[in-house]
Amino acid sequence: MRIALPDLSKPVPAGHLPALLGAVDFAIPAGFPSPAEDMTIKRCDLVELLGAHPQATFYMRVSGQSMVDAGIQDQDIIVIDRAIEPRHGHIVVAVVDNEFTCKRLHKRNGRVRLESANQTFPDIRPRDGQMLEIWGVVTASLTLFKP
Amino acid sequence: MSASRYALVDGNNFYASCERVFRPSLEQQPLIVLSNNDGCAIARSNEAKELGIKMGAPWHTIKHLEREAGLVALSANFTLYGDISDRMMSLVSGFGHRQEIYSIDESFVDLTGIRGDLVARGQKLRQRVLQWLGIPICIGIGPTKTLAKLANHVAKDAERKRGSYPAEHAQVCDLTAVPAPALDALLMVTPAREVWGVGPRISDQLHNLGVFTVKDLRDMNPATVRSRWSVTLERTVRELQGVDCIDFDDAPAAKQEIACTRSFGGSVLEMEELAEAISAFAARVAEKLRLQGSHAGELLTFIRTSPFRQGAQYSRSAIMPMIPSTADTALLTKAALVSLRTIYRTGFKYAKAGVMALSLSPADQGQGELPFGVTPAGAKSELRAGLMATMDRVNDRYGRGSLHIARNESAAPTRQWSMKQERRTPHYTTDWQSIPLARA
């Protein structure tokens, strides 16, 4: 699947039409700073919304159907925040047999397992003595619709 | 005024550690990262070090370990390392008031006046970088940069080589908290060549005079050192004695990278102003490269806001491969400016910028990429080399920057030569097509 994202590595041409400015009709008192001067307006930014800890935020692509009931579709892009301490109930990326696996973390009464969110898929239980490595906590899933 | 305190923070086996974050199967495996064109080992995991693989070992001399010892060799993925470095530097900058990036995986942090248990603070930072990024780091703390760097060496060896230093210094070592007799004991078991700025040549000369350990070097008379060697070595001795005298810009060059970075007095908002600074840095880096007879295979450019000022924060870096590797001011300046244009965003108050040459190789060992003798700009390389030498002479005589390359956006487009990188991992964090797969 190809995602159409704007290519920001090249300059984007500015529009050819002249910008129209509305006439302003008020006086600014001399010596008094304009209230708008130091207010840079920032647009809503998805990245800001998704990445509470920008340094610890990573993305992965999902392959498989085992998490559909949690709203994670095959080929979705998941957002992972490694700054979050994984707890019971979190959707996580774990390392299972050296591969990244997205599941829900079950951690109760000293038992740990990785649960699927799809009845047709089994849960993953660590074998005896096997350490379960959690790579990061999933904070969002993006489904991109093909137009 | 409180006594100066510095930390040197760096990533352990940085390139190898970056690879492991996205390839869990490489954990516990002997792993090396190869230079451009898969020439030689430029990073080694601890397991690879234990196999006896030396830094810079040519690939063809160790290739047999692939079959015999399960050695894994990867081509350098500088795009990945640059991004992880950027994240790491940003976390490390919170450790003190001021940060000076020294190479892709090392930075000095000014801790002067910070109270409390610095080792505990350091362990906390280490834990955070490990959890957030998956990168193990070591921290050395000292009253001078030279001692901080030495402390970092102690922290690394105490962790990796059992019995080399007391285990309490592993990972985070604060020499300012070590009582004098114990400090002497540490310096006595450390060879003088481990000191920042003491190269093999000086180390040999010191040997002839019976100066073997760091303690021997520290106890030398600075005046004698100045008359026999240089002001630079004198400064090193004074720093070992605890006198803070190395400014960042005078720092001895790192072995693997050459950098030029600076904090701006005020805050810079405009691209134009940053471009001015970045061009100057790139020119300076090119000069340093030629001075030590090296070529850069990659150029890293970064800009960042100050984490200590109010307002929106932004920090990005970009790495541009230089193919063939070069020390040409024009090519490096152009690469830095293209990178700047890619990472620049409006509306931020930039406080720091820099240019770093990575993946250095000796200038006389041209890797011989095709087409031979032709630079991407189309000029004959001997002619360019002559031009650069002349430029250096002019600048030497009339002052740095007298003669420089005009920033010219309309220069011929860089041609893309493909580099031999058969074993490179994907750009996991910088390219949507290359993000890792998670099974579900």
Task: Please report, for the domain that includes residue B271, its CATH number.
Answer: 3.30.1490.100
Token pair for B242: 């605890």
Q: Is there a single domain that holds both residue B90 and residue B223?
A: yes
Report d(CA B109, CA B86) in Å as an integer: 15
Query: Closest residue of A to B436, CA-based?
Result: A60
Distance of CA B397 to the CA centre of its chain: 30
**Number of structural domains chain B divides into:** 3
Peptide bond into B324 cis (omega under 30): yes
CB B233 within 8 A of CB B211: no
The ipTM, to two decimals, is 0.73
Contact status of B308 with chain A (Cβ, < 8 Å) = no
The answer on pLDDT for B404 being more than 70 is no
Q: Is there a single domain that holds both residue B199 and residue B177?
A: yes
Q: Select from B90, B439, B440 the Cβ nearest to the Cβ of A55.
A: B90
Q: Is there a single domain that holds both residue B356 and residue B275?
A: yes
Contact across the interface for A82 and B131, Cβ inside 8 Å: yes
Q: Is there a single domain that holds both residue B122 and residue B215?
A: yes
The answer on pLDDT for B250 being more than 60 is no
Mean predicted confidence (pLDDT) in B144-152: 96
Contact across the interface for A133 and B24, Cβ inside 8 Å: yes
Q: Which among B77, B22, B74, B10 has a CA at the least distance from the CA of B45?
A: B74
3-state secondary structure of B282: helix
Give the catalytic positions of A in this structure: 66, 103
Identify the burial level of B191 via C-beta atoms within 10 angstroms of its C-beta, where 0-12 means exposed, 13-18 middle and 19 or more buried: middle
Q: What is the DSSP letter of A144?
A: P
User: Which of B4-13, B331-340, B409-418 has maximum average pLDDT?
Assistant: B4-13
Distance (Å) of CA B54 to CA B63, B284, B359: 13, 31, 17
Chain B residues in contact with A74 (beta carbon < 8 A): 440
Report the pLDDT value the prediction gives residue B382, as an integer from 0 to 100: 64
Report the pLDDT value the prediction gives residue B363, as an integer from 0 to 100: 76
Q: Is there a single domain that holds both residue B70 and residue B167?
A: no
Mean predicted confidence (pLDDT) in B367-396: 60
Token pair for A115: 């649960």
Return the residue matching tokens 């690394």: B156
CA angle A93, A94, A100 (to 5 degrees): 75
Q: Is there a single domain that holds both residue B218 and residue B286?
A: no
Bigger pLDDT: B373 vs A92: A92
CB B252 within 8 A of CB B283: no
Query: Which residues span the domain enclosing B292?
Result: 258-365+377-398
3-state secondary structure of B217: helix
Q: Select from B91, B133, B342 the Cβ nearest to the Cβ of A9.
A: B342
3-state secondary structure of B58: strand
Q: Tens digits of per-residue pLDDT, B191-220?
A: 999 999 888 888 999 999 999 999 999 999
The answer on pLDDT for B156 being more than 80 is yes
Q: What is the CATH number of the domain that holds B126?
A: 3.30.70.270
pLDDT tens by residue, chain A, 147 residues = 444 444 556 554 554 444 444 444 444 445 555 555 455 577 888 877 887 899 999 999 999 999 999 999 999 999 999 999 999 999 999 999 899 999 999 999 888 999 999 999 999 998 877 778 999 999 999 999 976
Q: Is there a single domain that holds both residue B27 and residue B148?
A: no
Residue type at B162 in one-letter notation: R
Residue B246 in any domain: the answer is no
CB A92 within 8 A of CB A133: no
Distance of CA B332 to the CA centre of its chain: 17
Upper half-sphere CA count for residue B372 (Cβ side, 13 Å):
3
Q: What is the CATH number of the domain that holds B53?
A: 3.40.1170.60
Q: In what order do the strands lie in the sheet with B258-268?
A: B258-268, B350-362, B294-305, B315-326
A57-63 and A133-142 strand pairing:
unpaired
CB neighbours (10 Å) of residue A62? 26
Report d(CA A92, CA A98) in Å as an integer: 15
Return the residue matching tokens 């090296």: B294
Q: Which among B104, B60, B8 has a CA at the least distance from the CA of B300?
A: B104
Query: Closest residue of B to A53, CA-based?
Result: B132
H, E, C per residue of B316-356: EEEEEEEEEEECCHHHHHHHHHHHHHHHCCCCCCEEEEEEE
